[in-house]
Amino acid sequence: MAVYLHEEDLPEGVLAPGTVAIDTETMGLITARDRLCVVQISDGRGDEHLVRFGVDSTYDAPNLKAVLADPERLKLYHFARFDLAAIEHYLGVTAAPVFCTKIASKLVRTYTDRHGLKDLVRELLGKEVSKQQQSSDWGAAELTDAQKEYAASDVRHLHAMHEILVTRLARENRTELAQACFDFLPARARLDLAGWPEHDIFSHEAA
């Protein structure tokens, strides 16, 4: 297992065919203000690839975009809503089809209100994930080893959790409901980008 850091694009041919796990690191939580710094990607076979974008990046990244926009590749996320918005805003592609482990967790782990990645990895896989670098400076000129490991760990376990959550969704007869949620996520991300990040447009209340 290795973590590879690439500048401005993913090298061609480094990923096996099939499902990929995706995550992003940005300068903050406001997508239009806080630039995209890193996209993490894994094909689930043991290596993680980090694509870093500089402060003056044009976000061309044709190889990465081709993987993200590939309709034949399922993309696994934890809190896909945020990552989809960042990817669409900066890279200009819709990174779907989607499976979100956070949404799946909320649909099947109704016995808890703890649906963070750390909690999910601990319960489903019996492993620990450190979140210590979550609020670090992802726009720095050099990423530390701790940052690289943190970024890699965000995609490292998604394939294994996906298998478990798919089984649980089927067991609870919520597969169809989950899929409807996943299918809507790109539109939910666009609503965030368009100015409706908090308001529930399906509610009776006025905007």
HEC per residue, 58-103: CCCCHHHHHHHHCCCCCEEECCHHHHHHHHHHHHCCCCCCEEEHHH
Give the Å distances, CA to CA, from 22 to 81, 188, 202, 203: 12, 18, 28, 31
Mind giving me the DSSP string for 156-177?
Answer: HTHHHHHHHHHHHHHHTT-HHH
4-55, pLDDT tens digit by residue?
999 999 999 999 999 999 999 999 999 999 999 999 999 999 999 999 999 9
For residues 92 and 69, the answer to whether their CB atoms sit within 8 Å is: no
φ and ψ at residue 132, rounded to 5 degrees: -65, -35
Of the candidates 149, 132, 141, the one whose C-alpha atom is nearest the C-alpha of residue 50 is 149
Give the rounded distance of the alpha carbon of 112 from its chain centre. 22
Please tell me the distance from the alpha carbon of residue 146 to that of residue 102, in angstroms, as a whole number. 24
Q: Is 69 left (phi over 0), alpha (psi -120 to 50) or beta?
A: alpha
Please tell me the distance from the alpha carbon of residue 184 to that of residue 74, in angstroms, as a whole number. 15
Give the Å distances, CA to CA, from 30 to 25, 73, 82, 83, 86: 12, 28, 10, 12, 9
99-135, pLDDT tens digit by residue?
999 999 999 999 999 999 999 999 999 998 876 666 7
> What is residue 2's predicted lDDT score, i.e. its pLDDT?
96
> What is residue 133's predicted lDDT score, i.e. its pLDDT?
63
Q: Is 42 left (phi over 0), alpha (psi -120 to 50) or beta?
A: beta
- Average pLDDT of the segment spanning 156-179: 98
User: For the chain, which domains are there?
Assistant: 3-194 (3.30.420.10)
* pLDDT at residue 199 is higher than 90: no
Question: 86-90, 110-114, 154-158, 195-199: which has the minimum mean pLDDT?
Answer: 195-199
Give the Å distances, CA to CA, from 56 to 36, 59, 138, 147: 11, 9, 14, 21
* pLDDT at residue 171 is higher than 80: yes
204 vs 17: which has the higher pLDDT: 17
